[in-house]
Amino acid sequence: MEPRQVETQSQALKSAASKAIDKARDDIIGLARAVYASPEAGFEENATSALVAEKLESLGLSVRRRVALTGVKAVRRFAAASPTVGIIGELDAVRVPAHRGAAASTGAAHACGHHAQLGMLYGAAIGLDLPEIASALSGSVAFIATPAEEFIDVERRLARREAGEIQFLSGKQEMIRLGAFDDVDMAMIVHTSSEEPVGRFIVGGTSNGHLVQHVRFTGRAAHAGGAPHEGINALQAAMLAMTAINTQRETFEEKDVVRVHGIITRGGTSVNSVPGEAAYEGRVRGRDMAAVDRIAPRIERCFKAGALALGCAVDITSIPGYMPLLNDPGLDEVFAENAKALVGPGSVARQPYDETRGGSTDMGDLSHLIPVAHPYVTAANGVAHGADYEVVDYDLAAVIPAKVIAGTVIDLLVDGARLANAVKQKHRPALRKVDYIRLQAERFRITHYKPAEG
């Protein structure tokens, strides 16, 4: 087809998709709000996952459920099977008990806006569910809801790993391992942001890589009043380790965007008993894995320092965290053009590809294998992962992104999927899947340390 004919055809398809999405506006927002109202933490998103699956099934899609415990996947095939464009929404909430929308029993709350992503996912599926689109596009579109993006509940997830339920501790890592992305050639996800001003798309940027540490100090319990000299205080060892970590901060280089942070998840059971056990869950983050790998051994030394001072044992479990995000410029370009068409060029910002705010995502892992776009839409208020983070405008947070995503898929797959094939051909994957699995598996490591008596 002539470029002008393709353009005319795309415009007609996009306007039909937008019209269908507008018609379903209340349904799309209703889904996002329903998910918000019953937040569930990673690998426990049973109700959320069932709701998303039902919504996709209502569009005639055949849905695979329980991929990596709670993940959902459905594929709509057009003229040819490939290439496949993946649209991703994240199922999980983070635990912020002080949040207005927090579940009373679990403290889980949508303080990261993932509920809006599920609205977008459903909205895009509605927009692409039209006969004129089916006959004009080549390839497929995969709708994928992924579990457990927030890397929390590490001890609980390690127990699931021990029980053989999972091998990696995040949803996309696990879905990659299980082959759920094997037939996906490129993927996109839109995350909400509370950055000012509201109503913008931010395309590009990167994120930090990270390594997760779960650390258990084992001392000896004893009467805290009557016989503290008989005890070995594991909590003191953990606190000393945290102080030791703070002594390392002056050695961190700005260029590496290092973040080292952790929480004490267990610090004793009875106040009248010297804590015989303490547990720490933490992260080492950095701009690239080289920075993470440089810092992590020093942090391990700090755990040992705490154990040495108190004479207790320490088990340090290193767990593969996320790889830095590599957004694909070609995919970003198609997304940005579609966003501009809907919100105006002045409301689409491009972020330099070396700019990281310090956070991490498992889209980073996927981005090492296939082209991905992980833009943001500024449609929320408050501090991310804070008690006051709220989506302020659901049209902006779910309906408009659904149109942008549908438009991007149309551009990629019209004209015999010319653009999608171009994105695919231009992309040089940072890793093959087999090497990704091996590298991440190698990061699992347990270090046991017990100082000599004396």
Residue placing its CB nearer to Zn ion in the complex, 112 or 126: 112
Q: How far apart are CA 20 and CA 8, in angstroms?
A: 19
Which residue's Cβ has the minimum distance to Zn ion? 112
Residue placing its CB nearer to Zn ion in the complex, 112 or 125: 112
Least distance (Å) between residue 427 CB and Zn ion: 24
Residue placing its CB nearer to Zn ion in the complex, 112 or 212: 112
Residue placing its CB nearer to Zn ion in the complex, 93 or 369: 93
Where do contacts with Zn ion occur on this chain (CB under 5 A)?
Answer: 112
Q: Do 256 and 248 touch, CB atoms closer than 8 A?
A: no
Pairing of strands 108-109, 94-95: antiparallel
Indicate left, alpha or beta for 374 from its phi (over 0: left) and psi (-120 to 50: alpha): beta
Q: How far apart are CA 357 and CA 360, in angstroms?
A: 9
Residue placing its CB nearer to Zn ion in the complex, 32 or 112: 112
Residue placing its CB nearer to Zn ion in the complex, 87 or 412: 87
Measured on CA atoms in the order 78, 79, 81, 86, is the torsion positive or negative? negative
Least distance (Å) between residue 94 CB and Zn ion: 5
Measured on CA atoms in the order 393, 388, 262, 171, is the torsion positive or negative? negative
Task: Reduce the DSSP state of residue 347 to 3 states and report it.
Answer: helix
Q: How far apart are CA 60 and CA 129, in angstroms?
A: 9
Q: How far apart are CA 338 and CA 4, in angstroms?
A: 17
Count Cα atoms within 13 angstroms, Cβ side, for 148: 28
Least distance (Å) between residue 113 CB and Zn ion: 7
Least distance (Å) between residue 190 CB and Zn ion: 11
Q: How far apart are CA 16 and CA 426, in angstroms?
A: 30
Least distance (Å) between residue 147 CB and Zn ion: 13
**Could you tell me the CA-to-CA distances from 230 to 220, 271, 275 in Å, in that order?**
8, 16, 12
Least distance (Å) between residue 150 CB and Zn ion: 5
Residue placing its CB nearer to Zn ion in the complex, 23 or 100: 100
Least distance (Å) between residue 49 CB and Zn ion: 17
Q: Do 402 and 124 touch, CB atoms closer than 8 A?
A: yes
